[in-house]
Structure 1
């Protein structure tokens, strides 16, 4: 059976407290923020603490999106360093874009540049996913670069569903799901398998214990950087 990583979105209610704890504990999270800063021109500490963006709502929303993506990538990397790698990935809204990177369909720097400069999908070099990439827009697995590009175009306006997400992941053999970082995902009961929120460092131990208890298989990491 397989581990699923789920990435959500919490742009309107984002609180950095748990991410700051991860940042202090895990070098991978600090590296992720430094990369995001390099690729977007934002200051890493300003992104982390969400400071300096008041008074410009559009700037604040861009900064929150970049910070949330950096947090999710960093936590994913911190887990991967401990051997916790998904066999299936999925996401809601911004998390759908993050999960596409984790699945190997595009480079992180391309996503960050979209988030910093506005959603330039035509300029992204998409590839086919190397991990099963589950859509939250309908009960569907995205299998080609064209399908991932289409998802990016629909992602901001199409309704998303954890029911669809859970159904597709279950068909791929998901036995346990990890919701990575801040997510805004509240209807966990909609998933047809146990789900753990990895939103603070202390949750990592719970994730490791659940992986052991459920006998989940952990594949290698094949994502593009």
Structure 2
């Protein structure tokens, strides 16, 4: 069943990736185990590594590779688990790796093509080795001097994530070299800058020049088609309607700042009454959305999603012509 009132949000690794939820899904769901076996066949990366095994011993670039494959696999698999429960989206969108996964779930690219692209070094996870990412919490009404100074000293805005749930702070994604972000964290008020615990997974960043060039080369051979479901851009408030627009998103997504507010505003314009965040891809209870949001990271969250669907009046109807054909 599908309904335009239900959005699927595919985030990116903005905080330390926690594999415990996907691991619990893997233990309990044959559907998810099949997805991990399939990705292992396509990439040579075994399920154990995608679920967190041996990652601390890997180098920065290998961690980036495993990180983007692990997150993409978890989101694809959780989508499939929800489909077993006849929960399907009416609109999709995402940030970073999640934008690419959302395009695939909207029917614009086969899954194998997505996974092989991520494994080949495409996507916003292959920065220069010293790159890092952080979340910064700014006063709602102005940019403090410590933040303005950092933007002049090598730190770059990677995305505007909107206000926190209480409306006290604006949350922004910052990218830059690790040394520059550590200096910023030391100069800012305590707790105002939180450096990502998963180094090497830089998104929406000018640091991604190498990945940007790789992605531009890779997309020329990818079999994009027009999305079957509405696909919202993370870069501006609009829906992508053609294969060419999705292809260009893959390229721009690597280096251009994201705007979560524009993404969710476009979802809201499509009639979204409830959003499901797939996988451990956005921080829980941190960001304000224009509609209720439920995070689906572990098996227990499926029941919460079903309860929210009933609570917020998301009327489900047969998928009909909106059904996305499975494209492995």
Q: 2:263: which partner in 1?
A: 165
Report the TM-score when normalising by structure 1.
0.94
Indicate yes or no: 2:158 matched with 1:155: no
- Checking the alignment, whether the CA contact within 8 Å between 2:15 and 2:283 is kept in structure 1 is no
Q: 2:131: which partner in 1?
A: none
Give 1 or 2: higher helix fraction: 1
The Cα shift of 1:31 comes to 1.2
Helix, strand or coil at the partner of 1:188: coil
The Cα shift of 1:188 comes to 3.2
- Checking the alignment, whether the CA contact within 8 Å between 1:11 and 1:61 is kept in structure 2 is no
Q: Which residue of the other structure, out of 262, 283, 287, is the alignment partner of 1:188? A: 287
Q: Which residue of the other structure, out of 40, 43, 50, is the alignment partner of 1:40? A: 43
Structure 1 gap ranges (5+): none
Structure 1: distance between partners of 2:235 and 2:326: 24
Q: 2:215: which partner in 1?
A: none
Give 1 or 2: higher strand fraction: 2
Indicate the structure (1 or 2) with the bigger Cα radius of gyration: 2
Bigger Cα displacement from structure 2, 56-65 vs 7-16: 7-16
- CA distance 1:113–1:134, shift in 2 (3 Å): same
Q: 2:229: which partner in 1?
A: 131
Q: 2:209: which partner in 1?
A: none
Structure 2 gap ranges (5+): 123-217
- CA distance 1:222–1:50, shift in 2 (3 Å): same
Kindly provide the CA deviation profile for residues 168-210 of structure 1, in whole angstroms up to 9, marking residues without a partner as x: 0011000100001111345531x21111111121111111011
Aligned length: 224
- Checking the alignment, whether the CA contact within 8 Å between 1:2 and 1:176 is kept in structure 2 is yes
Q: 1:215: which partner in 2?
A: 313
Bigger Cα displacement from structure 2, 10-19 vs 56-65: 10-19
Bigger Cα displacement from structure 2, 96-105 vs 208-217: 208-217
Indicate yes or no: 2:34 matched with 1:31: yes
Kindly provide the CA deviation profile for residues 84-106 of structure 1, in whole angstroms up to 9, marking residues without a partner as x: 10000110110000000000000
Bigger Cα displacement from structure 2, 3-12 vs 121-130: 3-12
**4+ runs deviating over 3 angstroms:** 185-188
